[in-house]
Amino acid sequence: AWQPGDRIELLHSRGPKKVKEVLSHMHVAGDERALWPVVVWQGKIIWMRGVKLGNGLDGKRMGGEGEDDPGCVLEIRETPELL
């Protein structure tokens, strides 16, 4: 879950934006904001529903220390019926 004051970098943005401000711009109601899905990795938000982030991690390999340690691959799927 995101925390008050958390910031994200949008794909075509000049700098980090507050999650609360991004959700407000998306017209997400206050009670819905607290439950808005995000994925946090190593203390950073790397995915947020409906937002293109500028972190370059969308479905890419993360971590890993050389060719013997592949790290992990992030794949996020949402079922439309649940949205």
- Its pTM stands at 0.68
CA gap 53, 10 in Å, rounded? 4
pLDDT at position 55 over 80: no
Residue 32: which of 44, 12, 49 has the closest Cα?
Answer: 49
80 secondary structure, DSSP code: G
Mean pLDDT of 23-33: 91
How long, in residues, is the chain?
A: 83
What is the reported pLDDT for 35?
A: 86
Quote the CA–CA distance of 36 and 47 in Å, as a whole number: 11
Both tokens assigned to 28: 């997400």
Render pLDDT for 39-50 as a digit per residue (tens, 0 to 9).
888 888 888 888
Whether residue 53 contacts residue 46, with contact meaning beta carbons closer than 8 Å, is answered with yes
